[in-house]
Chains A and B, each alone.
Chain A
Amino acid sequence: MEPLSTAPPPEMNISLGPLHLANPVMTASGTFGYGAEFINLVDLKRLGALVVKGISLEPRPGNPPPRIVETSCGMLNAIGLENVGLDRFIHQKMPFLRTCRSRIIVNILGDSIDEYALLAEKLTQVAGIDGLEINISCPNVKKGGVAFGTVPEMAAAVTLAVKNATDLPVIVKLSPNVTDVTVMAKAAEESGADAVSLINTLIGMAIDIHTRKPKLANIIGGLSGPAIKPIALRMVWQVARTVSIPVVGIGGIGTAEDAIEFLLAGASAVQVGTANFYNPAAAEQICTGIEAYLNRQGASSVHEIIGTLQTTF
Chain B
Amino acid sequence: MREYQENSIVQAVDRLSDSLHRLTLFAPQIAAVARPGQFVMASCGTTLDPLLRRPFSIHQSFADVALQILVKVIGRGTRYLSELRPGAELSLIGPLGRGFHATTTGSVCLIGGGIGIAPLLFLASHLPTSPECSACTVLLGSQTKADLIVLSEEFIQFGCQVHTATDDGSLGHHGYISNLLPAVLPGVEKVFTCGPHAMMTTVAGLCLEADIACEASLEAHMACGLGACLGCAIHGSGNTYKHVCKHGPVFDAREIIWNP
Contacts and interface: CB of A to CB of B under 8 A. Distances in A.
B231 A77 contact: yes
Interface string B212-243: 00000000111110111111111100001100
Interface string A200-237: 00000000000000000000000001100000000000
Given A79-B229, A82-B230, A225-B51, A277 B224 contact: yes
A281 B231 CA distance: 20
B167 interface: no
A63 B220 CA distance: 15
Nearest to A42: B5
What's the dominant secondary structure at chain A's contact region? loop
B228 A32 contact: yes
B51 A75 contact: yes
Given A41-B93, A65-B220, A66-B221, A226 B51 contact: yes
A62 interface: yes
A40 B3 contact: yes
B227 A37 contact: yes
Interface string B1-20: 11111000000000000000
A280 B50 contact: no
B52 interface: yes
A226 B228 CA distance: 19
B48 A254 contact: yes
A74 interface: yes
A30 B224 CA distance: 12
Contact of A37 (B226, B234, B235): B226
Given A31-B229, A33-B228, A41 B51 contact: no
Nearest to A33: B228
A68 B50 CA distance: 14
Contacts of A30: 229
Interface residues of B, number: 31
A67 interface: yes
A277 B229 contact: yes
Contacts of A254: 48
B35 interface: no
B241 A61 contact: yes
B223 A68 contact: yes
Given A33-B227, A66-B221, A67-B233, A73 B51 contact: yes
B49 interface: yes
Given A40-B3, A277-B52, A68 B231 contact: yes
Contacts of B222: 68
A274 B260 CA distance: 29
A280 B226 CA distance: 10
Given A33-B227, A67-B231, A67-B233, A281 B5 contact: yes
Contacts of A67: 230-233
B22 interface: no
B234 A278 contact: no
B98 interface: no
A148 B66 CA distance: 52
Q: Which residue, of B2, B5, B233, B241, has the highest number of chain A Cβ atoms within 10 A?
A: B233
Contacts of A66: 220-221
Contacts of B59: none
B78 to A, nearest CB: 13
A292 interface: no
B243 to A, nearest CB: 9
Contact of A278 (B1, B4, B53, B260): B53
Given A73-B48, A73-B51, A278 B228 contact: no
Nearest to A61: B241
B2 A40 contact: yes
Interface of B: 1-5, 43, 48-53, 93, 220-224, 226-235, 240-241, 260
Given A61-B240, A62-B233, A280-B5, 18 more contacts: A30-B229, A31-B229, A37-B227, A37-B228, A40-B3, A63-B233, A64-B233, A68-B221, A68-B222, A70-B50, A70-B52, A73-B48, A73-B49, A74-B51, A277-B228, A278-B51, A278-B224, A280-B224
23 contacts: A31-B228, A37-B226, A40-B2, A41-B3, A62-B230, A62-B233, A62-B241, A65-B234, A66-B221, A67-B230, A68-B221, A68-B222, A68-B232, A72-B49, A75-B223, A226-B51, A254-B48, A274-B223, A277-B223, A277-B224, A278-B51, A278-B52, A279-B5
